Amino acid sequence: MFRRDADADADCSASYADTHFAVRVASIFVIFATTLLGTLPPIVWRKSKSIPRALFDFAKYFGTGVIIATAFVHLLAPAVEELSSPCLSEKWHEYDYAFALAMAAVLAMFFAEVAAYRIGTARLLKLGVRIGEEREEERSRDEEAALGKPEAVSKPVDCDEPACAEPECGDDDCAELPCCDEDLDPLSQPPSNAEAAAQLIAIGVLEFGIVLHSIIIGLTLAVSDEFIVLFIVIVFHQMFEGPGLGSRLATLPLPRSAGWIRYTGAVLYAACTPVGIAVGLGIREGFNGNGAVFNAVAGILDSLSAGILIYTGLVELLAHEVLFNPRMMGASTRQLAYVLGCIGLGAGMMALLARWA
C-alpha cells in the first residue's frame, strides 16, 4: 500500500479521481507486461548455461533486498498510517494494531513452518528417509568444501550414464538418487528432501504476501489523484520485486511434468496489480479510499503482508540463503561482497521509491 497525503487522510468523504481514465485502463496492460518482464527472465534463464552465474545471483539477491524494503517501507509504515487514520474510531487509536498484527503474522509463519517440518519429517520417516542424517551428511560435505577439500564434495551426476540399473528416476531403486531433470536449476546442486519441502513452503508464503500487497496497490492506483507519479513508481516497484520472486521460482525443485508451476506463479504475481486496478475502476464511483472501512481493511492486510515478508526476507532469504549457508560463508570475500552489495542495492532502491509513493 502507498501513502496518501495528510489532507486526504483527514477528509473521510467518498471521492475518486476521474481523470486520465484511458491511461488508467492502459495501465492494466502496461503493469502486467512490465511485471512479467521482471519476473520471467530468471525462470527462462534456468536452463541456459550461457547466462553468467553473477547475473542470476544479481537477480536473486537484488530481489532479496527489494522484498525486505517492501516489508518495512512499503507495507509496515503505510499500515501504521492507515490504522492511525482520523477516519477510524477511537478504539483503533488505543493500541498499535499495525505492529501487533505484523508480529502475529511473523509468529504464525514460524509456527506454520515448524508444524510443516514436523509433519513432513514424520511422513518421510514412514518412507524410510531420515532428515536429520541427510542434513548432517550434507552439512559435513558443505563444511569440508568450504575449508578447501574438494574431494569431500559429491560428484555431480552424469546424465549420460544411468545412476543405477534402471535409468528411470521414478523407480524405487533410484528414488533417493538425483534425477537428471533438465528443469532442475543447473546452477546449484540438487537440494535434499528437507530443503526441497522448505523451498516450496517459502515460495508459496512469499507469493501469498506479495499478492495481497499487489492487489491493494492496484486498488489505490485506480482511484488516486496523483495517478501519473504513482503509476510510474508502481511500474518500477513491480519490476524490482519481480526478480526476487522469479529467481526463486526458477530454483524450485520440481519434476519435469510440474514445470508449469513456475510460470503460473509468475503470471499470478503479474496479474494481481492489474486485477486490483480493474476492480478499482469498476467500483470507483462508490469507492471511498479515505473511509474507515478501506483504511481498516488496507491497514490489516498491509500489516499481515508486512509480517509475512519480514519473516520470509529475514529468515528464509537472509538467514538460510546467506548466514547459515556453508557454501555462501565459505565463498571468497569478493563473491560474498557481491552478494551483500546486491542485497543492499535492492533494499536501497526500493526504499528510495518510497520517497514518491
Among candidate residues 317, 321, 338, 311, the one with its CA nearest the CA of residue 104: 311
> Could you list the pLDDT tens digit for every one of the 357 residues in the chain?
555 544 444 567 655 566 778 888 999 999 999 999 989 988 888 777 777 888 888 888 998 999 999 999 988 998 999 899 888 988 899 999 999 999 999 999 888 888 877 776 777 667 665 555 445 555 555 555 554 544 444 444 434 334 444 444 444 444 343 444 444 333 345 555 555 666 677 777 788 888 887 888 888 888 777 788 889 888 988 888 888 888 888 877 777 777 888 899 899 999 999 998 998 888 777 666 677 888 888 889 889 989 999 998 898 889 988 998 888 888 899 999 999 999 999 999 999 988 886
DSSP code for 332: -
pTM above 0.75, yes or no: no
Q: What is the dihedral of CA 188, 190, 196, 200, to 10 degrees?
A: 50
Distance CA 341, CA 63 (A): 12
Distance CA 298, CA 1 (A): 7
Beta carbons of 285 and 18 less than 8 angstroms apart:
no
Distance CA 113, CA 38 (A): 28
